[in-house]
Amino acid sequence: MPASEPVTIEGDLNAHGLRFGCVVARFNSFITDRLLGGALDAIRRHGGDLGTTRVVRVPGSLELATAARVMADSGKFDAVICLGAVIRGETAHYHHVAEGAASSIARIGPETGIPTIFGVLTCDTVEQAIDRAGAKAGNAGFHAAVAAIEMANTVKGLTGS
């Protein structure tokens, strides 16, 4: 009897029919607006309908998880993209915000089954943030949206929905 091949489930990059939530921190908006632009561009370029995408603005990166959790729990979204920028300053505040945002956002996907993507820049300098928001290093918002598209399709493949 020949050996059978395993069934592989892998999300594709087709955003058609998917519904996205984007939660964007207003703090460092000169960076986060660029990240949002990149995320929306990725959704559009991959066949998504921006008319079904919802953008929610929150004060800062620590507040991203609260809005993202509400969006994930609502059942209205196939994936939620969290976008923020934490830039190191002269105090330990940077570490608290970066770690708090990362740990709280990381729990949402496993707890809800809705892919929740961490698109928060954690940079030492403003220049690094600018580079990662579309200057030299691509746009991290675009990459976060691509991950959201793939994961939304992966979950659909796993659940058969």
- Give catalytic residue positions: 93
**Using CB atoms within 10 A of its CB, is residue 59 exposed (0-12), middle (13-18) or buried (19+)?**
exposed
**Using CB atoms within 10 A of its CB, is residue 116 exposed (0-12), middle (13-18) or buried (19+)?**
buried
Cβ neighbours around 103 below 10 Å, total: 10
Query: Which whole-number Å values give the CA distances from 17 to 49, 81, 124, 138, in the listed order?
Result: 7, 17, 38, 26
Cβ neighbours around 156 below 10 Å, total: 16
Among 84, 78, 30, which residue's Cα sits nearest to residue 56? 84
20 beta partners: 79
